[in-house]
Structure 1
Amino acid sequence: MTKSMIAFAIVASVIGGMLTATQGPTNAMLARPLNSPVNAAFVSFAIGTAVLLVLVAVLRIKPDLQGAAALPWYAWMGGVYGVGFVCAAAFSAPRLGVATTITLMVAGQLIIGMILDHFGAFGIEPRPISFGRVAGIALVAVGVLLVRRT
C-alpha cells in the first residue's frame, strides 16, 4: 500500500470518527420528539439509505452480484451492528454526555478490534495481541474515567 493511500485512510478514519461522534447527539435530539432511540435510528437509516442511493447513482457503482451471493451470512450483518451503534449512541449521549459515550464506544471498538485482529477475523491480516496493544486499551479505559469525572 502506498504512503498516500495510508495517509488518505488515516484522514478518512479521523473524519469518520468525527462524524460518528456527531451521530450520537443528533440522533438523541431526533429521539426526543420521536419518543424512542429506535425511531430515531429508523429515520437516520432511512435518510442514510437515500444518501447512499444518490451516491451509487452518481458514482455509477455496479456491484458484483455473483460475488455478493457467495458471501457467508455474517457478511450481511453490518447494518445490524449499525443499528446497535446508533441506538446505543442516541440513548447514551443525553444520559452520559457525548464525550463519555464516545470514549466508551471507542473502548468497546478497541477491545473487539484487538480480538478480531488477533484471530484475523473476516479475512483481515492477523495482528497478535501484545502488551502494547493491551496497554493502549487500558489507557483508553483510564481516559473514560477521566472524561466521566471532569
Structure 2
Amino acid sequence: MLYFWLSLAFVVGMIMPMQAGVNSTLAIHSNGALWASLVSFVVGSIALLCLAIAMRQDWPVLADLRQAPWWAWTGGFMGALFVFTGAILAPRIGATTMMALLVAGQLIMSVVLDHFGWATFPQHDINWGRILGVLFLIAGVVLIRMY
C-alpha cells in the first residue's frame, strides 16, 4: 500500500505544472489570473461536492468545524494563492523554473513542519541528510535557472 501512496504523490506532483499552464491559459481567456483562479476553484469545488455525494460522505457538523483552530481555516487561502500565483508565474518564468522554486520552497517548509511536528505532521528532527537534500535542491534550482 505504501507504494500506492508514493506513486499517487508522484503522479499528483506531475499534475502541478500542468495546472499552472492550464490556469495561465484560462487567464488569457478570462480577463486575468484572478478570474481564472476563481473559475478554477468553482470547478474544483463542484467536483469535490460531486465526489463527496458519490462517495456518500457524511456532511460535516458545524459544531465540530467551530472547534478547529483558526489556522486550520487558512488552507483555502493558501490553495487560492498557489493557483493564482501559478497562473501568473507560468508564462513569465516557465514550468521548470517555477516548479523548481515551488518544490524548493515546499521542501524547506516541510523540513520545518516535520521538525516541530506542526499541523498534524509526525515529528522528525532536522538532520544532516535533510539539510543536504535541501541544499542539493537549492543547487538544482540555481542550475535550472542558469541554463
TM-score class, shorter: over 0.9
Q: Does 1:39 align with 2:35?
A: yes
Residues 2-57 of structure 1 show CA distances to partners (whole Å, capped at 9, x for unaligned) of xx1x2221011111111112111111111112232111110100100111111011
Q: Does 1:86 align with 2:83?
A: yes
Residues 67-95 of structure 1 show CA distances to partners (whole Å, capped at 9, x for unaligned) of 33321111121111101111111111111
Partner of 2:49: 53
Larger mean CA deviation between 33-42 and 104-113 belongs to 33-42
Structure 1 counterpart of 2:42, one-letter code = A
Measure how far apart 1:64 and its partner are: 4.4
2 CA distance for matches of 1:148 and 1:108? 15
1 CA distance for matches of 2:113 and 2:30? 36
Partner of 2:72: 75
Structure 1 counterpart of 2:127, one-letter code = S
2 CA distance for matches of 1:30 and 1:119? 38
Structure 1 counterpart of 2:45, one-letter code = T
Of 117, 120, 123, 1:123 maps to: 120
Identity %: 36
**Structure 2-normalised TM-score?**
0.93
Instruction: Please give the root-mean-square deviation of Cα atoms over the aligned residues, in Å.
Output: 1.3
1 CA distance for matches of 2:16 and 2:122? 25
Larger mean CA deviation between 139-148 and 105-114 belongs to 139-148
Mapping of 1:8-27 within 5 angstroms?
Answer: 8-27=4-23
Runs (4 or more) in structure 1 with deviation over 4 Å come to none
